[in-house]
Structure 1
Amino acid sequence: MEVELISVGTELLLGNIVNTNAAYLSEQCALLGLSMFHQSVVGDNEERLAEAIQTALGRSDVVILSGGLGPTKDDLTKEAAAKVMEMPLKEDKHTRKLIAEYFKNSGIKTVTENNWKQAQVPEGGIVVDNDNGTAPGLILEKDGKSVILLPGPPNEMQPMFAKSIFPYLNKLQPEMICSCMVKICGLGESYVETQIADLIEKQTNPTLAPYAKTGEVHLRITAKASDEKEAKKLIKPMVRELRKRFGDYIYSTDEHETLAESVLKLLKERELTLTTAESCTGGMLAARLTDVPGASEVFKQGLVTYSNKAKRKLLDVKKTTLKDYGAVSEKTAKEMAKNGAFVTGSDVCISITGIAGPDGGSEEKPVGLVYMACSLNNKVTVKEYHFQGSREKIREYSVVRALTLLRSCILESDGKES
């Protein structure tokens, strides 16, 4: 079955916002086993939008549109789709009620008239409730084709797709599609790809596809079968083979589990407490950890010691160390981690100090040089990295590598080493 994406919004054409919806929807459609040969972006113009929908229906079984479902005059996706599908708009009382409840719960007393535009739906269409906003999703079916309309904001679109559209599309498929994501940290993309080249070369069902993330590699295994049980049976041997090849470098086979979550889980299982001591990352590592619900069970404190004065005052880094070796050095990272654990009474402390740029580098210490250290059970492990890219990229890589180092040290303390 072929699917096509149409992203709606003049702001996308102008580059004012990044089209993350297309990336998300493409990945989800691939997961469903749907073929996708075309994507397009159309501005807020009803005539051009209707033309794009008509063209897409001529070559695809399913057309998914995101954006243009809001209450303003330039939100025209619904109107264009209704015209093409020949489904006149009429008010849906259920949707109007949900909109009223949404504003009431948000503490908004005055609802302007244009908001009720979102309660107008194509007659005969399937209304998909929006749990995170006011614009409902819509499924329009005609002559064996489907047009699916989704709201533009990702925090509305993604939950709606996962809850309602994914199951709908899955039912249209003659076979059940099932997948598993094997997540790897601490190994480079090229190395991982080399290690699985033989599996990719002879793959049939299931299939194996690598995805490079910042500091990680994800491997998606996808199987087709008559039912979910049979599909999972096909996936298991592939997971076993990958575990055999990559061992503890695999941190999760849960689609939704992040590296930070896996690290916190290890800390909880071993009843260890954690402190972070950051310089160049400015609290990004602590933020990544505290993004995880329940982090407070193990995460004691995050120290951002950006200046030398702060390193001395909060982490007791020696004045002579900073003078003789500099803030960006193996010795400073080591003292930050060791003293961070001591002053906060934590079992573990991970430290980061480096030069994120774009200025501040030298021939001896170039931009991208980052030291990090992990203190655990009175043992301090220090790593030196040389990252490349923008300031943002260097800081992001530093956070991922720090989580990887932390995970490695915990496993090593168990007698395992990844």
Structure 2
Amino acid sequence: MTVEFISVGTEILLGNIVNTNAAYLSEKCAGLGLSCYHQSVVGDNEKRLEDALHLALSRSDIVILGGGLGPTKDDLTKEVTAKVFGKELYEDARTRARIEDYFARVHNRNITANNWKQAMVPEGAVVVDNDNGTAPGLILEENDKTAILLPGPPNELKPMFESKIAPYLNGLQPEGIYSKMVKICSMGESRVETVITDLLETQTNPTLAPYAKTGEVHLRVTARAKSEEEADALMKPMMDELFHRFGDKIYTTEEDVTLEDAVVELLKGKKMTVTTAESCTAGLLAGRIMNVAGASEVYEEGYITYANRAKSKLLGVKEETLEAYGAVSEQTAREMAEGAAKAAGADAALAVTGIAGPGGGTKEKPVGLVYIGCYVKGHTEVKEFHFTGNRAKNRDYAVVRALTFLREELVKERS
């Protein structure tokens, strides 16, 4: 089956917001085994939206429209879709009651008249409750064509798709689509693809698809089957082979588990604590760790030491080290990691020092040069990295490499 996405909103065309919904829907629908050949963005214009929907329905089985379901006059998605499908709008009593309840829960009883516009739905449409907002989703089916209308805000669209739309789409196919995720760190995209080239060339059912992420590679194994049990049996040989080839470079097979989640769980399992000492990343690394629920069990304090004086004062980095080798050096990274562990009384420590850019680089020490020190129970290792992105990307890569480095050292922890 083919699916097509129409993102609605003049603000997307003008670049005022980034269209993250399309990327999200693309990945999720691919995981459901749906083929997507076209995507489009349309402003808040009735005629252009009507033309775009007619075109999409002429070449795709399912059209998913995101946005334009709000209470204002320029929110036209529902009205245009009803017109294209030849349906009248009526007020859905259940949706009206849910809107009233929503405003009561957020302690705002000043419901303006235009909010009731969101309770109007096309005849024959399946109303999809919105548990995070006031605009419901809608599903319209006619002549083997389906239109699915979703609210635009990602914090409404994503949970609605996960809990209600994905199961609906899965049910449209004669066989269900089931998948497992294999997340790999410590290896780049090209190397991972080289390792699995033969699997990619001979895949049938299940299939294998790689996705490059910042500092990681994710592999999705997908099977078509009549039941989850049958799918698991089909995917098991592939999963076993991936573990055989990548071993402990696989940090999880859970869709929602992040690299920092895995690192925190590893620390918990070993009953160890960690601290961080950051220069160029300025707290980003600590933030990634503390984003994990329960991270306070393994992380008590950290240090942002941008200036050399701070590195000496808080971490005990020797002045002669800074003078001889500079702040961005293997020697400084080592002393930062060891000093942080001592200051915090932690079992492990990560230290990051580098030149994120755009300025500050030299021929000897160019922008993107980063040293990461990792201390684990009395043993310290330092790695040198050369990143080639802009300031934000260099800092993001440094954080991921630091987390990966710590995980590697924890996995091979010395007794």
Q: What range describes the TM-score normalised by the shorter chain of this pair? A: over 0.9
Query: In 2, Cα distance between the equivalents of 1:371 and 1:401?
Result: 10
Q: Secondary structure of 2:300's partner?
A: strand
Structure 1 counterpart of 2:410, one-letter code:
I
> How is 1:201-216 mapped onto 2 (pairs within 5 angstroms)?
201-216=201-216
Structure 2 counterpart of 1:386, one-letter code:
H
- Give me the TM-score of the superposition, normalised by structure 2: 0.98
Deviations 1:177-200 (A, max 9, x none): 111111110111111111111111
> How is 1:250-269 mapped onto 2 (pairs within 5 angstroms)?
250-269=250-269
Specify the alignment match of 2:47 in structure 1.
Answer: 47
Query: In 2, Cα distance between the equivalents of 1:46 and 1:404?
Result: 49
Between 178-187 and 83-92, report the one with greater CA deviation: 83-92
> How is 1:184-203 mapped onto 2 (pairs within 5 angstroms)?
184-203=184-203
5+ residue gaps, structure 1, are: none
Deviations 1:44-80 (A, max 9, x none): 1112112211222222211100011111111110110
- Are 1:24 and 2:39 an aligned pair? no
| % identity of equivalent residues | 63
Specify the alignment match of 1:88 in structure 2.
Answer: 88
Structure 1 counterpart of 2:263, one-letter code:
V
Specify the alignment match of 2:292 in structure 1.
Answer: 292
Q: Secondary structure of 1:301's partner?
A: coil
Shift in Å, 1:410: 0.4
Q: Secondary structure of 1:141's partner?
A: strand
Q: Secondary structure of 2:412's partner?
A: helix
Structure 1 counterpart of 2:341, one-letter code:
A
Deviations 1:222-255 (A, max 9, x none): 1111211111111111111111111111111111
Change in 2 beyond 3 A, CA 1:150/1:318: same
Structure 1 counterpart of 2:117, one-letter code:
K
Query: In 2, Cα distance between the equivalents of 1:105 and 1:329?
Result: 55
Query: In 2, Cα distance between the equivalents of 1:59 and 1:185?
Result: 39
**Do 2:302 and 2:344's aligned partners in 1 also have CA atoms closer than 8 Å?**
no
Structure 2 counterpart of 1:118, one-letter code:
Q
Deviations 1:316-343 (A, max 9, x none): 2112211221111111111111111111
Deviations 1:363-408 (A, max 9, x none): 1111000001111110011111011110011000000000000000
Q: Secondary structure of 2:70's partner?
A: coil
Query: In 2, Cα distance between the equivalents of 1:140 and 1:61?
Result: 12
Structure 2 counterpart of 1:287, one-letter code:
G
Shift in Å, 1:290: 1.1
Specify the alignment match of 1:72 in structure 2.
Answer: 72
Deviations 1:287-324 (A, max 9, x none): 11111111111111121111112212211211221122
Specify the alignment match of 1:372 in structure 2.
Answer: 372
Specify the alignment match of 1:281 in structure 2.
Answer: 281
Specify the alignment match of 2:171 in structure 1.
Answer: 171
Between 225-234 and 352-361, report the one with greater CA deviation: 225-234
> How is 1:125-274 mapped onto 2 (pairs within 5 angstroms)?
125-274=125-274
Structure 1 counterpart of 2:127, one-letter code:
V
> How is 1:262-411 mapped onto 2 (pairs within 5 angstroms)?
262-411=262-411
Q: Secondary structure of 2:60's partner?
A: coil
Structure 2 counterpart of 1:159, one-letter code:
P
- Are 1:117 and 2:109 an aligned pair? no
Specify the alignment match of 1:7 in structure 2.
Answer: 7
Query: In 2, Cα distance between the equivalents of 1:151 and 1:414?
Result: 51
Change in 2 beyond 3 A, CA 1:57/1:375: same
Q: Secondary structure of 1:54's partner?
A: helix
Q: Secondary structure of 2:104's partner?
A: helix
Query: In 2, Cα distance between the equivalents of 1:302 and 1:49?
Result: 52
Structure 2 counterpart of 1:174, one-letter code:
P
Structure 2 counterpart of 1:263, one-letter code:
V
- Give me the TM-score of the superposition, normalised by structure 1: 0.97
Structure 2 counterpart of 1:303, one-letter code:
Y
Shift in Å, 1:146: 1.2
Query: In 1, Cα distance between the equivalents of 2:113 and 2:274?
Result: 52
Query: In 1, Cα distance between the equivalents of 2:271 and 2:33?
Result: 42
Shift in Å, 1:414: 5.8
Work out the number of aligned pairs and report it.
Answer: 415
Shift in Å, 1:161: 0.1
5+ residue gaps, structure 2, are: none
**Do 2:302 and 2:340's aligned partners in 1 also have CA atoms closer than 8 Å?**
no
Instruction: Tell me how large the CA RMSD over aligned residues is.
Output: 1.2
Query: In 2, Cα distance between the equivalents of 1:98 and 1:221?
Result: 39
Query: In 1, Cα distance between the equivalents of 2:121 and 2:338?
Result: 62
Between 77-86 and 52-61, report the one with greater CA deviation: 52-61
Query: In 2, Cα distance between the equivalents of 1:94 and 1:314?
Result: 60
Structure 1 counterpart of 2:241, one-letter code:
E
Query: In 1, Cα distance between the equivalents of 2:86 and 2:298?
Result: 58
Shift in Å, 1:144: 2.4
Q: Secondary structure of 1:140's partner?
A: strand
Query: In 1, Cα distance between the equivalents of 2:4 and 2:211?
Result: 22
Structure 2 counterpart of 1:305, one-letter code:
T
Shift in Å, 1:349: 0.8
Q: Secondary structure of 1:413's partner?
A: coil
